[in-house]
Amino acid sequence: MADIIAVLRCLDQSLSKTTLRQLGRIIPAMLAMTGRVTMLGMSRWTDQGGSYRTVQRFFNTVIAWSQVQWFFIRHHLLEAEDTILIAGDESVVTKSGRKTFGLDRFFSSLYGKSVPGIAFFGLSLISIKHRVSHPVMMEQVIKPEPKPSKLAKKQDRKKKRPGRPKESA
Domain borders along the chain are: 2-63, 77-141
Higher pLDDT, 95 or 161: 95
Higher pLDDT, 40 or 168: 40
What is the predicted pLDDT for the residue at 161? 62
Q: Decide if pLDDT at 121 tops 60.
A: yes
CA proximity to 84, closest of 125, 123, 137: 125
Q: What is the mean pLDDT of the chain?
A: 83
- Long-range contacts at 126-129 (CB < 8 A, ≥ 24 apart): 126/84, 126/85, 126/86, 126/87, 127/77, 127/78, 127/79, 127/82, 127/83, 127/84, 128/82, 128/83, 128/84, 128/85, 129/79, 129/81, 129/82, 129/83
pLDDT tens, 7-44?
A: 778 888 888 888 888 888 888 888 888 888 888 888 88
What is the predicted pLDDT for the residue at 53? 92
Gap between the terminal Cα atoms of the chain: 97
pLDDT tens, 68-101?
A: 888 888 888 888 888 889 999 998 988 877 888 8
Higher pLDDT, 53 or 161: 53
Mutual angle of helices 17-32 and 52-60, in 10-degree steps: 120
Query: Is the whole-model pTM more than 0.75?
Result: no
